Amino acid sequence: MAESRSLPNILITGTPGVGKSTLCQQLVERTNFQWLEVGKLAKENNCYEEFDEVYRCPVLHEDKILDLMEDQMTDGGIIVDYHGCDFFPERWFDIVFVLRTNNTALFDRLSKRGYSGKKLEDNIECEIFGTIHEEAIDSYKKDSVFELSSNSADEMDENVEQIVQWIEQWKQNKM
Ligand code: DAT
């Protein structure tokens, strides 16, 4: 429950390539929060159900990953980073940020990452349709979901500042 947390929990989500890891990296340098990379945790603990042949990637075993995360989420101070958001319990998060990037920039970033064909097209489409934002709106209280534009380094800096300020405000309100 949010009231029992000494620090808030934050979810950073969005299509692959929008800048979640970069933002989280900068946030841990500025705060004493812990960065929980769901993809990395899944890999380390083999939390997969099957292999998706179309996308050439394993499918997350959601219940297994949630069990692994539960204890860490209790005290707060966690920044969760994942490209999906509909399977986490709503109670875990005090705020949800959905990063957004324009098609051209995202296309370049994902191409550089080695994405091509259907995988590239589907991720670009996901971003154009605002799929993750919609998922966030459907999964969390509307007034706790915020879109952040992440097209440039300047916008990245602004986003870091905004989140650091939000954390400070949360602490003030808690006192
Ligand atoms: P994600 O974790 O969402 O998959 P990332 O942080 O790995 O994304 O970023 C993908 C690439 O894009 C990486 O090379 C850094 C770059 N990038 C991310 N956010 C950016 C921004 N706001 N402006 C410019 N480049 C950005």
| pLDDT tens digits, one per residue of 133-162 | 999 999 999 999 999 999 999 999 999 999
Q: Which residues contact 7 (CB under 8 A, 6 or more apart)?
A: 33, 75, 76, 77, 167, 170, 171
Residue nearest to atom 5 of ligand 1 (CA): 19
Distance in Å, CA 126 to ligand 1 centroid: 16
| 1-45 pLDDT tens trace | 566 799 999 999 999 999 999 999 999 999 999 999 999 999 999
Q: Which residues contact 157 (CB under 8 A, 6 or more apart)?
A: none
Taking the model in full, what pTM does it have?
Answer: 0.96
- Residue length of the chain: 175
The residue behind tokens 């299509």 is: 15
Distance in Å, CA 17 to ligand 1 centroid: 5
Q: Is 158 in the pocket of ligand 1 (CB under 6 A)?
A: no
Please list the residues that pair with 79 across neighbouring strands: 10, 35
